[in-house]
């Protein structure tokens, strides 16, 4: 994957397949300590202990079309390559929590990329689910919650083009604010 | 700065438009983009975005863009299927955002699939 934002999109698709009604994506950055934390949490069907152990194995997948599943292994590798950490916790019928810590000053650090695009795609393509997106830079935080947006929108779908453009700009502007209005160095 | 008030204005404008618009029935065209790990890694995100943008730009009605999992031919990703009622499904392979405008114009609007982008062209 060329951007961590694509890994986020990929891992969140697993949450959608797991039937989650609420998916939380956290991107927490500390530019002084050169760390970036990504968390993806869901309330989907979860996995058994045995399954959790096997998802980090690229030759395990629930898919029937092919015999490999690369999503989790790729994300784990991207984190560990930088000297960071990866973990996955899951409980049957409770949900799954995927966490990864990246050292952003490593030469092997994959740029974060366009997270706004990932979030907009998740939100607008899965309007029957709810998403919380939490982004912070050195403790300054911005959050987007689709439950709030749905309250405002009423019958107007989140997938409407003008709405999705608004969400994208809203995320971009608020993210720039976290960097003190400066250009996002990751994009 | 984008504000929630602006979102309310979009809501009101869209609501008006929605009451005017006839709901799309069974004759809807479906554009399905493969968004599993293989598709995403090959660049499916900009392709899906390009379809959504092009359809909004041309104000096309009765066309929906959706995502699906792995279609099973990962080496040809990004893969896009165009499904029109009463017609055979057309599968486009190795799609890019640049190819999208032509698929929308030639195929979705004018009904002529772009043969050179399809899986048939690559397998020969």
pLDDT in tens, B66-97: 999 888 899 999 999 999 998 999 999 999 99
Q: Tell me which DSSP letter residue B118 carries.
A: B
Name which of B62, B61, B65, B41 is nearest B51 in CA terms. Answer: B65
Q: Is residue A184 part of a domain?
A: no
Provide the residue range defining the domain that includes A155: 4-178
User: Could you tell me the strand order of the sheet in which B29-34 lies?
Assistant: B63-68, B29-34, B80-83, B90-92
Q: What is the pTM of this model?
A: 0.89
pLDDT band for B19, please (50, 70, 90 cuts).
low
Structural domain count of chain A:
1
Q: What is the pLDDT of residue B38?
A: 92
Q: What is the pLDDT of residue A62?
A: 64
Task: Report the half-sphere exposure of A146 (CA within 13 A, side-chain side).
Answer: 27
Please say if the pLDDT value at position B9 is more than 70: yes
Beta-bridge partners for A98: A40, A88
Q: What is the pLDDT of residue A96?
A: 94
Chain A's closest residue to B41, CA to CA, is: A1
Q: What is the pLDDT of residue A55?
A: 83
Structure tokens at A9: 């999109």
- Residue A65 to residue B7, Cβ atoms within 8 A: no
Give the tens place of pLDDT for each residue, A79-121.
999 999 999 999 999 999 999 999 999 999 999 999 999 999 9
Q: Is residue B8 part of a domain?
A: no
Q: Is residue A183 part of a domain?
A: no
Average pLDDT in the B104-112 region?
95
Q: Is residue B2 part of a domain?
A: no
Structure tokens at A111: 């740029």
CB-based contact A97:A46 (threshold 8 Å)? no
- Residue B7 to residue A152, Cβ atoms within 8 A: yes
- Whole-angstrom distance, CA of residue A108 vs CA of residue B31: 36
Q: What is the pLDDT of residue A140?
A: 94
Phi, psi of A61 (to 5 degrees): -155, 155
Model ipTM?
A: 0.85
Is the minimum CB–CB distance between B85 and chain A shorter than 8 Å? no
Domain CATH for A22: 3.30.565.10
Provide the residue range defining the domain that includes B34: 24-123
- Residue A6 to residue B74, Cβ atoms within 8 A: no
- Residue B45 to residue A163, Cβ atoms within 8 A: no
Structural domain count of chain B:
1
pLDDT band for A182, please (50, 70, 90 cuts).
low
Is the minimum CB–CB distance between B94 and chain A shorter than 8 Å? no
Q: Is residue A186 part of a domain?
A: no
CB-based contact B34:B92 (threshold 8 Å)? no
CB-based contact A106:A81 (threshold 8 Å)? yes
Chain A's closest residue to B68, CA to CA, is: A13
Q: Any long-range contacts for B109-112 (C-beta under 8 Å, 24+ apart)?
A: B109/B58, B109/B60
- Whole-angstrom distance, CA of residue B104 vs CA of residue B60: 10
Q: Is residue B7 part of a domain?
A: no
Domain CATH for B67: 3.40.30.10
- Residue B35 to residue A13, Cβ atoms within 8 A: yes
Contacts of A43 (CB under 8 A, 6+ apart): A20, A21, A22, A94, A95
Q: Is residue A18 part of a domain?
A: yes
């Amino acid at each position: 994957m060329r951007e961590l934002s694509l890994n986020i999109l990929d891992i969140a698709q697993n949450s959608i397949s797991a039937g989650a009604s609420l998916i939380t994506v956290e991107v927490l950055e500390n530019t002084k300590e050169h760390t970036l934390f990504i968390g993806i949490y869901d309330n989907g069907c979860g996995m058994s202990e045995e399954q959790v152990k096997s998802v980090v194995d690229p030759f395990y997948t629930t898919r029937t079309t092919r015999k490999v599943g690369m999503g989790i292994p790729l994300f784990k590798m991207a984190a560990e390559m930088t000297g960071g950490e990866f973990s996955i916790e899951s409980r049957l019928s409770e949900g799954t929590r995927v966490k990864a810590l990246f050292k952003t000053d490593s030469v092997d650090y994959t740029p974060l990329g366009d997270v706004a695009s990932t979030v907009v795609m998740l939100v607008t393509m899965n309007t029957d689910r709810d998403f919380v997106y939490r982004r912070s830079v050195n403790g300054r935080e911005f959050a987007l919650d689709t439950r709030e947006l749905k309250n405002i929108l009423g019958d107007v779908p989140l997938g409407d083009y003008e709405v999705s453009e608004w969400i994208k700009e809203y995320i971009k502007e608020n993210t720039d604010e976290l960097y003190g209005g400066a250009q996002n160095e990751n994009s | 700065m984008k504000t929630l008030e602006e979102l309310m204005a979009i809501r009101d404008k869209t609501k008006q438009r929605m009451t005017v618009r006839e709901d799309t029935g069974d004759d809807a065209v479906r554009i399905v983009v493969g968004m599993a790990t293989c598709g995403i890694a090959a660049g499916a995100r900009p392709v899906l975005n390009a379809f959504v943008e092009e359809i909004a730009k041309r104000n096309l009605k009765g066309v929906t863009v959706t995502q699906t999992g792995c279609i099973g031919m990962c080496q040809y990703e990004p893969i896009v299927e165009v499904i029109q009622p009463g017609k055979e499904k057309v599968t486009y392979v190795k799609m890019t955002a640049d190819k999208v405008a032509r698929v929308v114009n030639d195929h979705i609007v004018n009904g002529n699939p772009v043969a050179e982008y399809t899986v048939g062209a690559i397998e020969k």
